[in-house]
Amino acid sequence: MTKNKPNYVLRVTCPSIRGVTAAITAFLSERGCNIRDSAQFDDESTNHYFMRITFRAEEGRSLQDLDREFQPLVEQFGMDHEFFDERTKRKVILMVSRFGHCLNDLLYRWGIGALPIDIVGVISNHLDFQKVVQGHGIPYHHIRVTAENKVEAEAEQMRIVRAAGAELIVLARYMQILSDEMCQQMSGRIINIHHSFLPSFKGGSPYKQAFERGVKLIGATSHFVTADLDEGPIIEQDIVRITHAQSPDDYVSLGRDVESQVLARAIHAYVHGRVFLNDNKTIVFPPSPDSYSSETIG
């Protein structure tokens, strides 16, 4: 991606109406914008239209000007929309308990610039990863959580999120159930990694359940967090093949890699604006050109 020509993104959701694609592309063309990548989906079951476009403003139009001039189309088609610069790093809070593989993977990807995020803090109910996190220059917040102090602990967690200006919370194997209130406050802005190929084997011991059923594939699921445990809209999934010879500990070890990859891909899709909520499901568009490039070699 050339530094003097940033990629801009336009996200649109609206009722399914004839002519919306033509109207959007004509709007950008008339203002000297060159479309580099476009994806759209018209969901007949929900009567909703989804579109994501990456483009370059080759005649110097600012996002503020484009957003202002786009308002007549917003009103005409009843759109929810967002313009943003792909170089903008989203502020993210990571939450972790005692399994560190996802945390370490995200710290590495963040360190080489493979994820356009700004990790503004890590919250944990344990002290296991304090030195690792602080060694990266990231604030580490230890908040002990018990049945007796859960309300106060979540209030402190939300205070940290607000103070840091975080747009997204990532549960990188955080093994505490969030309250309905916290899920509602951050609706559509909490991503979890579940060590199972949902909807099968929900709950706290999915690998043990999978072993007892003799499955031949295990996997991981990244999804939005809702008040319904492990029922949030799914963003990303993947699997790894196993055999009858594997033990429950093998399942856990094999699962670490797929969990880390699935969570990273879900975050990548979210921060690039590729994920759209569609009732209890998601629309996830393919990545754009250059979106996987890193700032440094690593």
Among all residues, which ones are annotated catalytic? Answer: 230
Sorted by sequence, the CB contacts under 8 Å of residue 262 that are 6+ apart come out as 193, 219, 220, 221, 222, 236, 237, 238
Query: Which one, of 2, 21, 3, 4, lies nearest residue 12 by Cα?
Result: 21
Rounded to the nearest 5°, which phi and psi values hold at 190? Answer: -125, 125
Rounded to the nearest 5°, which phi and psi values hold at 248? Answer: -55, -35
Cβ contact 235:271 at 8 Å: no
Q: Whats the size of the chain, residue-wise?
A: 298
Q: What angle do CA 283, 285, 286 make, to 5 degrees?
A: 150
DSSP alpha helix (H) spans, 204-247: 206-213
What b/e string do you get for 111-128 counting C-beta neighbours within 10 Å, with b at 16 or more? eeebbbbbbbbbbbbeeb
The strands making up 90-96's β-sheet, listed across from edge to edge, are 140-142, 117-124, 90-96, 168-171, 190-194, 217-224, 234-241
Residue with token string 């103070």: 163
Sorted by sequence, the CB contacts under 8 Å of residue 209 that are 6+ apart come out as 196, 201, 203
Say how far apart CA 166 and CA 171 lie, in whole Å.
Answer: 13
Reduced to 3 states (helix: H, G, I; strand: E, B; else coil), residue 256 is: helix
Say how far apart CA 214 and CA 243 lie, in whole Å.
Answer: 9
